[in-house]
């Protein structure tokens, strides 16, 4: 159960009003959250976990490999907003989006989204997977540092991915949107 749902249960019959993405973006533009690591998920402002060296290293390795492999075909966005719903603006660790001008607004979908999980595993599996599936992201990876595995979530139906395939060191991931791009798991997780 999300923290917003728990809050709603505690204050019933009063109603908790979720924050809309446009309101959140206005607050960000006004500098209300300066230097805070937060994201909007299901209408609630959620603090993001601090990044330790293993998390940062995985993000950097993904960024390097994807930028080289997809130059000119997709943009690699690292820890930048993805406008997936009217009440959610997550900041995935890595998102592959169509080339374009995003000065006027954040992208609304991606070819691939990757979350690097250490302490955020439940949030990434339960909340973010639903948001990304609902936004039509065809492929969502969770780089599970503790387990040493990349979970590839694919075949979305509505707000769910119906297939979750674990990839371990020694195996290779192939991007669905760019099948010529192969990423050895051992080049990402060590």
pLDDT attached to residue 116: 97
Q: What is the average per-residue pLDDT within 37-66?
A: 95
Maximum CA extent, the chain: 54
Strand partners, 102: none
pLDDT attached to residue 15: 73
Q: What is the average per-residue pLDDT within 45-74?
A: 95
Phi, psi torsion values for 183, nearest 5 degrees:
-125, 110
Q: ∠ CA(112), CA(114), CA(119), 5° rounding? A: 160
Report pTM. 0.90
pLDDT attached to residue 34: 87
User: How large is the C-alpha radius of gyration of the chain?
Assistant: 17
Instruction: Label residue 83 by pLDDT band (50, 70, 90).
Output: very high
Q: Is the pLDDT at 7 greater than 90, yes or no? A: no
* Nearest Cα to Cα of residue 144 among 172, 125, 163, 171: 125
Mean pLDDT, rounded, of the chain:
93
C-alpha count within 13 angstroms, C-beta hemisphere, residue 49: 17
Instruction: Label residue 43 by pLDDT band (50, 70, 90).
Output: very high
Q: Look at the block and give the residue holding tokens 């943009």.
A: 75
Would you state the structure tokens that stand for residue 161, as one six-digit string?
């991915």
The four Cα atoms 156, 121, 44, 3 give a dihedral, to 10 degrees, of 110
Q: In Å, how far from its chain's centre is CA 189?
A: 18
């Amino acid at each position: 159960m999300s923290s917003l749902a728990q809050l709603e249960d505690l204050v019933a019959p009063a109603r908790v009003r979720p924050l809309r993405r446009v309101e959140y973006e206005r607050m960000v533009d006004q500098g209300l959250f300066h230097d805070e690591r937060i994201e909007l998920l299901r209408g609630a402002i959620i603090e993001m976990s601090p990044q330790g060296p293993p998390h940062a290293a995985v993000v950097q390795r993904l960024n390097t490999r994807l930028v080289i492999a997809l130059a000119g075909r997709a943009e690699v966005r690292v820890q930048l907003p993805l406008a997936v719903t009217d009440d959610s603006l997550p900041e995935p660790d890595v998102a592959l989006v169509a080339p374009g001008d995003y000065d006027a607004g954040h992208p609304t979908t991606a070819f691939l989204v990757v979350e690097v999980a250490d302490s955020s595993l439940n949030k990434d599996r339960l909340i973010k997977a639903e948001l990304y599936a609902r936004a039509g992201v065809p492929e969502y990876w969770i780089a599970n540092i503790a387990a040493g595995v990349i979970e590839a979530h694919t075949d979305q139906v509505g707000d769910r991915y119906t297939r979750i395939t674990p990839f371990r060191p020694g195996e290779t991931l192939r991007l669905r949107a760019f099948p010529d791009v192969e990423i050895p798991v051992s080049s990402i997780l060590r």
